[in-house]
Every structure is written in structure tokens, then in C-alpha cells.
Amino acid sequence: MSIYQPSDDSDLLRESILTFKNKNVLEIGIGSGIILRTLSNQNNTVIGIDINPESLSFVSSSLEKLNLEDNVDLVLGDGPSMFASQTFDLIVFNPPYLPRDVYTDTTTDGGNTGLEITDNWIKLSLSLIKKSGKILFLQSNLTPIHEYIASLSKSASVDIVAKKKLFFEELYIIEVMHNE
């Protein structure tokens, strides 16, 4: 298994989390730890979960070098189902989102439409955020994201809060909250 290397998608997500401070946060799929390091700098409690033990080891080492490990817990796991409901103020993820018929790369392959993993994580995460909590995740126009947003909007408050146009795709940061 390889560690997901940050790119334009990671940078866009990192920029989108800079305003969140003093929160209890979960990052699903920590990859190289770029998002987790930013979160740990400005929030009370940060939990990072990943299925890749190499990612956890790499990120643990980098957090220690930067003296950022005090408020961070790293968990080996395949999703957010192990946490209690209404635990987090913020859940963040850059899921594998490339459409693929067969999973060959767990860091990028998101299923047939590219949204299968995202949909699973959203459903689990909605029960884990507090009533005033938020979910921020990244997606691409290579998936049927606008149809997904329309469907998700029937049960939650959904908004595109950032965009980045690349030559081959457009990236979106999507915010999901409970309906008021």
C-alpha cells in the first residue's frame, strides 16, 4: 500500500479548513498527514483514521518532529463507524473519488461512479457530527457530484464552499450539515 501524496485536491481542502479552530475533529483517510497537521495546529482534539498502517506510521513520526502529537490520536481502521454519535464538531475527508470498475488503488479509486466510498462515509459521518457540526469533503466533476448533491440535499444541508478548476477536472469542497 502506498501513502497518498498531496496534490491540488489536498491543497484545496487544507485551505478550506483554516477557519476551523478549537473544535473536536475527525479526519477520515489521513494519507500523508497534510490536512491532519493543519487541523492539529488549531483544534482541541483531532483524530485521524486510515486503513494504511504506513500512513499512520509516517504521520505519527511527522507529528512528533513538529511537536504536534499532544492533541492527536491516530486510529487504524476503514471508516468512521467505530465512534460514538454526536462526537465531532467537524469531520473532514478527501476520499478516493476516481471512478473505477475495479478497485486497484485504495488511495484514489472510489467505485463505479467515484462516489461509493464518499456516500458510505457521509452516511456514517452524519450521525457522528454534533447538531451544529459540519462535514467537509472533496469531490470532482469526474463523478456525478451534482446529482449526488441534489439527492443528499433532501436529507441534509449541502453547499459547495470552494472550487478549483484544473485542466482536466474541477474540484469541489462540499459542506454538509444537519437540516435545522
Say how far apart CA 103 and CA 105 lie, in whole Å.
Answer: 6
- For 49-96, what is each residue's pLDDT tens digit? 999 999 999 999 998 888 888 889 999 987 777 888 888 999 999 987
Domain range summary for the chain, segments of one domain joined by +: 8-178
The span from the CA of 53 to the CA of 66, in Å, is 20
pTM: 0.92
pLDDT digits (tens, 9 = 90+) for 13-42: 999 999 999 999 999 999 999 999 999 989
Fold of 8-178: Rossmann fold (3.40.50)
Q: Hey, what's the cell of 78?
A: 476503514
Angle at 140 between CA 93 and CA 15, to 5 degrees: 50
Q: What beta strand segments (E) does 10-128 contain?
A: 24-28, 45-50, 72-76, 88-93
